[in-house]
Amino acid sequence: MGKTLVIDLEDIVLQGDILDVGEKNLGIIYNISKEAQDELSLDYVCNDTKVELKSREYDACTFFFDLNKIWTSLEKEKIIKEVSSYLKENGEIFVWDINKERGKVFNNKIKVILPNRKIKEFAFRNLNILLSSNIEEIKKILEKYFEIEETKAWEDVFFIKGKKLTTKVKVEEKVEYESVNHSS
């Protein structure tokens, strides 16, 4: 086991309906969001539950150490694009993940500081030397669908927060549509 990485989530506030994307439920997102005063609706998604999402809209979406397990940038973009379609206008995305180069492994303990100074620890491994994950790759994908509001990188982990781009896409589509109509 490598080093212990500390992630302070005391100031992260998740409110409303939250979509937690991933295959493992570590209880981290639940513990952050349950501190909010509003009523909480937290849904977990994996391949088995995707059908249920089609009729829902969420205020926020979280990826907690899951994008690094996806093989290619195209697959990562596909899931981010799909998730953005489940978010309400001005919905937010929160991504915590690892910086890992192809050819390297990640084998560390992660200590998460939750609201009310609670601490949750878990071992996190990505031993696949063919996989890579980094803040620049994820940020580049997210910028297609979200306005990036915050980025942080420390040690071998990173955090990105974004707000869904809705008006920009609609304006671009409108301009494109109008230019087609005027040229005929």
Residue with the bigger pLDDT between 47 and 97: it is 97
Helices (H), the chain: 28-33, 50-53, 73-86, 135-142, 167-183
What is the DSSP secondary-structure string of 1-13?
Answer: --PEEEEE-TT--
Residue partners of 79: CB distance under 8 A and separation at least 6: 21, 67, 70
Length of the chain: 184
Residue with the bigger pLDDT between 35 and 92: it is 92
Is 152 a residue whose pLDDT tops 80?
A: yes
Looking at residues 139-146, what average pLDDT do you find?
97
Q: State pLDDT tens for residues 88-131.
A: 999 999 999 999 999 999 999 999 999 888 999 999 999 999 99
Is 72 a residue whose pLDDT tops 60?
A: yes
Q: What is the homologous superfamily of the domain 4-183 according to CATH? A: Vaccinia Virus protein VP39 (3.40.50.150)
Q: Which residues pair with 87 in a beta bridge?
A: 58
Domain extents in the chain: 4-183
| Average pLDDT score over the chain | 82
